[in-house]
């Protein structure tokens, strides 16, 4: 029987199997649920560590997958935390919080001596059950103790430890948070909540709580748990610093661009205002008409002078700049030649309005001439 799968597909299948060997938690990816169910139907033992994605991670803001699913964003965008390579060994699927988790009457502030004694008795029984690894029985007894004394931070911290053994990290976190509300210096509550965060893959939160626990009361187990989460927590911390740095650099570049655009806008406005303020007879350079004159030998010779060429280029970019060259004899000589070719009025529209100081229509020399000696006394 021939293989119904092409060589190309076989190569891809081999690559996928190799990926599963190196990264078994990928089987928990939502898109591979069909493959996970197929393996389970054969009784295959599937790793318990979850696969976190960019949009859904067990660590909330700090979660990350072992391998990125999406392509890198542009240089101006921040890298997603899912691109941070973390050791996800030991991370478990989160438990669903139940409304049946006994929290007691939080408004109950006065506890009678009898209730306190009964609560202490239940706590002792629960501790014995816990030491015998009867975790469900211990949980039941702690529930009864909490109902009698809902203001005991110790009871919530102890029950949180039971939830850890039952692989219910979210329930543990809820109990520890309540314990810390009742006693902010509860080292046990920080310790067990830190461990619960670690099981959920929330390594930064775990590192913070375990450090707080050790500050209050040193514990060998808490210290061991802290060293376990530190590498991942440090990677996430460095990643956040990198993201923040890139964000600040991007904002700085945007600011520079805004400043540059504003400066250019001011310069354009200034040039426009200068053009409006220019005299009506100012030089108006028309490159299209002017090009026809360059074939004249005299004009061509005049434009061999770099100073003259630069002056006319400057004026061509902004006619208002003509005022800078009114007293330049070289430029004045070229203008006289051009006027001689085109006439005083600036024929052809090349010199609209004439030239101030050089005659031509609209210039200071325009208008009736004063009488000469030859005209005086003539009838």
Q: What stretches of the chain show up as alpha helix (H) in DSSP? A: 7-22, 33-41, 113-131, 135-148, 153-165, 169-182, 187-199, 203-216, 220-277, 287-291, 297-302, 306-317, 329-342
Distance CA 281, CA 367 (A): 13
Distance CA 43, CA 223 (A): 38
More confident residue, 59 or 301: 301
Q: What is the mean pLDDT of residues 100-117?
A: 90
Look at residues 282, 271, 303 and name the one whose alpha carbon lies nearest to residue 351. 282
For residue 42, the SS3 value is coil
Q: What angle do CA 145, 212, 216 make, to 5 degrees?
A: 70
pLDDT number for residue 1: 56
Given a cut of 70, whether residue 232 has pLDDT beyond it is yes
More confident residue, 145 or 295: 145
In a domain, 122, yes or no: yes
Distance CA 83, CA 68 (A): 5
Given a cut of 70, whether residue 322 has pLDDT beyond it is yes
DSSP per residue, 243-297: HHHHHHHHHHHHHHHHHHHHHHHHHHHHHHHHHHHS-TT-----HHHHHGGGGSH
Given a cut of 70, whether residue 82 has pLDDT beyond it is no
In a domain, 372, yes or no: no
Given a cut of 60, whether residue 356 has pLDDT beyond it is no
In a domain, 342, yes or no: yes
Q: In whole angstroms, how large is the CA radius of gyration of the chain?
A: 43
In a domain, 368, yes or no: no
CATH code (residue 158)? 1.25.40.10
Look at residues 79, 73, 65, 80 and name the one whose alpha carbon lies nearest to residue 19. 65
Considering the domain architecture, whether residues 140 and 169 belong to the same structural domain is answered as yes
- Whole-number average pLDDT of the chain: 77
Considering the domain architecture, whether residues 61 and 127 belong to the same structural domain is answered as no
Considering the domain architecture, whether residues 203 and 120 belong to the same structural domain is answered as yes
Considering the domain architecture, whether residues 160 and 257 belong to the same structural domain is answered as yes
Given a cut of 80, whether residue 361 has pLDDT beyond it is no
C-alpha 191: how far from chain center: 33
Q: How confident is the model at residue 183 (pLDDT cuts 50, 70, 90)?
A: very high
In a domain, 363, yes or no: no
Total domains in the fold of the chain: 3
Considering the domain architecture, whether residues 219 and 307 belong to the same structural domain is answered as no
In a domain, 123, yes or no: yes
In a domain, 308, yes or no: yes
Considering the domain architecture, whether residues 121 and 198 belong to the same structural domain is answered as yes
In a domain, 227, yes or no: yes
Q: Which residue, 58, 93, 128, sits at the end of a domain?
A: 93
Domain that holds residue 300: 287-349
Considering the domain architecture, whether residues 189 and 258 belong to the same structural domain is answered as yes
Q: Which residue, 235, 257, 277, sits at the end of a domain?
A: 277
Given a cut of 80, whether residue 312 has pLDDT beyond it is no
Considering the domain architecture, whether residues 120 and 265 belong to the same structural domain is answered as yes
Both structure tokens of 364: 């200071």
Q: CA dihedral in degrees (154, 159, 162, 168; nearest 10)? A: -130
Q: How confident is the model at residue 48 (pLDDT cuts 50, 70, 90)?
A: low
More confident residue, 290 or 121: 121
Q: How confident is the model at residue 167 (pLDDT cuts 50, 70, 90)?
A: very high
Residue by residue, what is the 3-state secondary structure of 80-100?
Answer: CHHHCCCCCCCCCCCCCCCCC
Considering the domain architecture, whether residues 307 and 206 belong to the same structural domain is answered as no
Considering the domain architecture, whether residues 50 and 146 belong to the same structural domain is answered as no
Considering the domain architecture, whether residues 327 and 238 belong to the same structural domain is answered as no
pLDDT number for residue 276: 66
Given a cut of 50, whether residue 124 has pLDDT beyond it is yes
Given a cut of 70, whether residue 119 has pLDDT beyond it is yes
pLDDT number for residue 76: 44
Considering the domain architecture, whether residues 113 and 245 belong to the same structural domain is answered as yes
Q: Is residue 65 within 8 Å of residue 51, measured between CB atoms?
A: yes
Q: Which residue, 230, 259, 277, sits at the end of a domain?
A: 277
Query: Does the reported pTM lie above 0.85?
Result: no
Distance CA 153, CA 139 (A): 16
């Amino acid at each position: 029987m021939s293989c119904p799968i092409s060589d190309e597909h076989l190569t891809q299948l081999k690559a996928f199997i190799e990926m599963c060997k190196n990264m078994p938690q990928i089987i928990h990816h939502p898109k591979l649920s069909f493959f996970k169910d197929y393996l389970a139907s054969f009784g295959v033992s599937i790793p318990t560590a979850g696969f976190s994605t960019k949009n859904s991670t067990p660590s909330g803001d700090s979660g990350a997958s072992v391998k990125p699913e999406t392509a890198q964003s542009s240089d101006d965008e921040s890298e997603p935390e899912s691109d941070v390579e973390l050791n996800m060994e030991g991370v478990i699927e989160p438990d669903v919080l139940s409304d049946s988790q006994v929290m007691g009457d939080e408004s109950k502030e006065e506890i009678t001596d009898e209730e306190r004694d009964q609560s202490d008795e239940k706590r002792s029984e629960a501790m014995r059950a816990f030491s015998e690894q009867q975790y469900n029985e211990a949980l039941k007894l702690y529930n009864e103790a909490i109902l009698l004394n809902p203001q005991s931070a110790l009871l919530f911290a102890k029950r949180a430890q039971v939830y850890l053994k039952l692989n219910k990290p979210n329930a543990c976190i809820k109990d520890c948070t309540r314990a810390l509300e009742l006693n902010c210096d509860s080292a046990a509550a920080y310790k067990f909540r830190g461990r619960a965060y670690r099981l959920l893959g929330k390594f930064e939160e775990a590192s913070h709580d375990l450090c707080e626990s050790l500050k209050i009361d040193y514990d060998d187990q808490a210290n061991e748990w802290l060293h376990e989460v530190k590498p991942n927590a440090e990677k996430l911390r460095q990643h956040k610093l990198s993201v923040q740095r890139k964000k600040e650099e991007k904002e700085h570049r945007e600011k520079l661009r805004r400043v540059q655009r504003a400066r250019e806008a001011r310069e354009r406005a200034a040039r426009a205002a200068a053009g409006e303020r220019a005299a009506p007879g100012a030089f108006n350079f028309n490159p299209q008409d002017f090009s026809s004159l360059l074939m004249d030998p005299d004009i061509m010779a005049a434009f061999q002078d770099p100073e003259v060429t630069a002056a006319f280029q400057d004026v061509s970019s902004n006619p208002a700049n003509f005022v800078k060259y009114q007293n330049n004899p070289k430029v004045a000589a070229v203008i006289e030649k051009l006027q001689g070719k085109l006439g005083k009025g600036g024929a052809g529209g090349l010199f609209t309005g004439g030239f101030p100081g050089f005659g031509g229509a609209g210039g200071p020399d325009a208008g009736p001439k004063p009488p000469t000696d030859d005209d005086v006394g003539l009838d």
